[in-house]
Structure formats: structure tokens, C-alpha cells
Amino acid sequence: MYIRKEAKHFAAQDTTIKITKDDLHLKGAPDTIDGTTVGNILGVVYFIAGIVAVLMIVIGGIRFVGANGDSNQVQAGKETVTYAVIGLIVVIMAAAITQFIIQNVAK
């Protein structure tokens, strides 16, 4: 019984860490960053990652088509396309998760 009470009090402690720009000595930094700013920055990152993934799909396709029957080049082209598609899916999922968090949690 005694252990349960102590565990309950331990779990109820506030674990929030509050750091201000003054603590970090960042002159000119904003006091807060809203979800819009973070969303804009991540939007650019996701856009660039998406472009890279699409370019890698094109490069993999060119390697696959230009293999001329060389099984190593065919395999390399398939792997490039596969990994680029996986990367594109990850970028899309990350963008969706980020959008959900910004709209629902960061308010």
C-alpha cells in the first residue's frame, strides 16, 4: 500500500521543461514559434525530399531500361526504384503526420 502511494505521487510530478531564448542566449529569437512557422519549414523540407525521391525513381527507371540485358544493372535499377518509392511513401506519411499534429495538437 505504501509503495502504491509513492508511485502515484512520483508519476504525478510535472516533467515539463521550460527553456526561454534568454536561457540559450539567443538574441533576436522569437519568444515562441507557432505551428504555422514549423509547418512552413517542414513543408519545404518535404517538398525537396519529394523531388529527390521522384528524381531517383526516374534515374532507377533509366538504369533499368538502359541495362541492355545486364542482370546486375537490371537489379540495380529495380532496387533504386524500390528504395525511392519507399522513401516517397515515408515522406508522404511524415507530411501527413506533421499536418495532423500541427492542426490538432499544437493549438
Per-residue pLDDT of the chain (107 residues; tens, 9 = 90+): 445 555 555 555 555 666 666 677 667 666 666 667 778 888 999 999 999 999 999 999 999 999 988 999 999 999 999 999 999 999 999 999 988 888 887 55
- Residues with Cβ within 8 Å of 52's Cβ and at least 6 positions away in sequence, in order, are 87
- Separation CA 105–CA 39 (nearest Å): 13
The pLDDT, as a whole number, for residue 103 is 81
Instruction: Scan for cell 527553456, then name that residue.
Output: 19
The pLDDT, as a whole number, for residue 1 is 46
The pLDDT, as a whole number, for residue 90 is 95
The pLDDT, as a whole number, for residue 17 is 63
The pLDDT, as a whole number, for residue 48 is 96
Q: How many CB atoms within 10 Å of residue 64?
A: 17
- Separation CA 52–CA 74 (nearest Å): 21
The full set of domain ranges for the chain reads 27-104
Contact 32, 40 (CB under 8 A): no
The pLDDT, as a whole number, for residue 39 is 81
- Residues with Cβ within 8 Å of 58's Cβ and at least 6 positions away in sequence, in order, are none
